[in-house]
Structure 1
Amino acid sequence: MKNILVTGANGQLGSCFRKHRKKYPDLNFDFKSSRELDISDFAEVEKLFSSRSYDFCINAAAYTNVEKAESEKEKAFQINAEAAGKLAEVCAAKQVKMIHFSTDYVFDGSKTEPYLETDDVNPINVYGASKLAGEQRITEVLDDHLIFRTSWLYSEFGHNFFCTILKKAAEKATLNITTTQLGTPTNANDLAIYVLDGIQKESSATGIYHYSNLGQATWYDFAKEILNYSGKIDQVVLNKTGFFKTLARRPEYSVLSKEKVLKEIGDIKDWRKSLWDLIDEVV
């Protein structure tokens, strides 16, 4: 039985790992919320790894507020870069494989075709820069790592676009949704299952991989699909906008190529199909 530490266990992605744990009776999980384990408290991290034996560390702990990161740069880098790097150091010392999550925002959006893992990185906001720094620190100190760059994560847990659109529909709101960014919505449940399937199948994959659901969409496309499929499209006024003011710049194009992950690890759902499945489950 493999022992797996999951950090950030009460966050969106951590909650998805917790939700699907029963499908993997051969895996032994130790879920730690940010309150139970602050990964930026290096003494606590070392104490935990000295008291428990793990085979894998799934690091779902992260600073994820893209807007706030612009004014909280130090905090974003402390969690996404420094703490992630220290966690990797401890994993290296204890011979634990680390599975970590990064973002499409490591790219500047200047391409017009899906980004490969080998493409040049050039983040245009603080959040993307902090996640890139985390990638770099992990790869410097730990050979046995698996980093998934993902995009536009959503689920039924936490604060995300999917939950916000459904909440706004209940409030009969007017929504002005941008059409200027092109990416791929990704169901965090799919990502969690993908990772756990890989562990159970004893995948030997290491390095950086791009993972999102298949296909591409604008934020407007995503909102419209949520409202249409849930039967709530008539509850809101849905408008397209070419401009939506934000503190943090976003890449206009951030579709990730899945060629490598499909070839080496396994199949992935189309974003619409995955969204429909979640709506059928929770709405």
Structure 2
Amino acid sequence: MNGNKRVVITGATGQLGQALKERAEGIPGFEFIFLDRQELPLENLEQVVRSLKSLQPHVLINTAAYTAVDLAEVEIELAERVNHLAVREMAAYAAQYDCKFMSISTDYVFDGSSSFPLDENQPTAPVNVYGRSKLNGEKAAFEVNAQSIIIRTSWVYSPFGKNFVNTMLQLMRTKDEISVVSDQHGSPTNAFDLADLLLNIIEKDLWIPGIYHYSNEGEASWFDFAIAIRQLTQLDCKVLPVNSDAFPTKAKRPKNSLLDKSKIKSTFDITIPHWKESLTKMLEQYPEL
């Protein structure tokens, strides 16, 4: 291992996993191993433990999750295995083998009824199976490993895979008019900003256990987010605001999931960019724009 610290990262093909892969290149003193769902199927709990024992990481970052929010209402057991039981196994492994464990969670642990930004002490009350499975994973991690770091985030986007920005770009290129929900509020999160934070924590060895909230600064509705995408890309598509009732979904969504980032900013001494600034930066990476 040449004296390098081995960092194992799950969810290699996810948005955050791919952002971490790009950002981790060339960081001295670390050996990064990225595992996708074929290499580490989180629903297979025995294999999770076997793989970790074989790899012997110094740091384990879990960015993988079951994220099909509506499908989770049906695939309850699978969502629990991936988002709860696998997290418990990873945290327990880390506690037993002197490995640092970090896992990504979600704003969906809240019911969304609040009118103010939510800090880490606000009571949790998930309104869907996905949110409940992620909250169960948080609790399980701390039950078996008090040194865990859990970071809740929201509205993650990147150039990779399926997310709101990529969906909007596709729709705005192919339609004259679209409708976007205007009564759900939060803050978008550029996956690269979150990746930079995680790497900063492990590079500086700032291991301060606990739950933290991270998203970009500022507040937006999905409609505001869509308008910003349209303005920045200068695409010629009319964007209309609608209530979420116009798009009925199997799983209920929180109406307000704005996160208070005071704790993470003071603990790790970081500055978080505004969501519009980060969106502008990321859209510059799209060669076709």
Bucket of the pairwise TM-score, normalised by the shorter protein: over 0.9
**3-state SS, counterpart of residue 148 of structure 1:** strand
| 2:170 aligned residue (167, 171, 189) | 167
Cα distance in 2 between the residues matched to 1:211 and 1:249? 22
Q: Gapped runs of 5+ residues in structure 1?
A: none
Aligned 8 A contact 1:96 1:144 in 2: no
Q: Gapped runs of 5+ residues in structure 2?
A: none
Aligned twin of 1:278: 282
Aligned twin of 1:97: 100
Aligned twin of 1:241: 242
Bigger drift between 261-270 and 165-174 goes to 165-174
Aligned twin of 1:196: 199
**3-state SS, counterpart of residue 118 of structure 1:** coil
Aligned twin of 2:267: 264
Residue 183 of structure 1 and its aligned partner are, at CA, apart by 0.4
Residue 179 of structure 1 and its aligned partner are, at CA, apart by 0.7
Work out whether 1:146 is the aligned partner of 2:165: no
Cα distance in 1 between the residues matched to 2:55 and 2:152? 28
Cα distance in 2 between the residues matched to 1:221 and 1:174? 15
Work out whether 1:132 is the aligned partner of 2:128: no
- The amino acid of 1:194's aligned partner reads L
Aligned 8 A contact 1:70 1:247 in 2: yes
Work out whether 1:123 is the aligned partner of 2:112: no
Residue 49 of structure 1 and its aligned partner are, at CA, apart by 2.3
CA RMSD of aligned residues (A): 1.2
**3-state SS, counterpart of residue 80 of structure 1:** helix
Residue 45 of structure 1 and its aligned partner are, at CA, apart by 2.0
Residue 61 of structure 1 and its aligned partner are, at CA, apart by 1.1
Q: Identity over the aligned pairs, expressed in percent?
A: 39
State the number of aligned residues.
Answer: 281
Aligned 8 A contact 1:49 1:94 in 2: no
Distance 1:230 1:26, change over 3 A: farther
**3-state SS, counterpart of residue 9 of structure 2:** strand
Residue 173 of structure 1 and its aligned partner are, at CA, apart by 4.8
Work out whether 1:61 is the aligned partner of 2:76: no
Work out whether 1:29 is the aligned partner of 2:40: no
Cα distance in 2 between the residues matched to 1:204 and 1:89? 17
Aligned twin of 2:229: 226
Aligned 8 A contact 2:48 2:90 in 1: yes
Residue 22 of structure 1 and its aligned partner are, at CA, apart by 1.4
Residue 23 of structure 1 and its aligned partner are, at CA, apart by 4.8
1:40-78 deviation line (CA, Å, top 9, x unaligned): 222222222222221110101100111111121111111
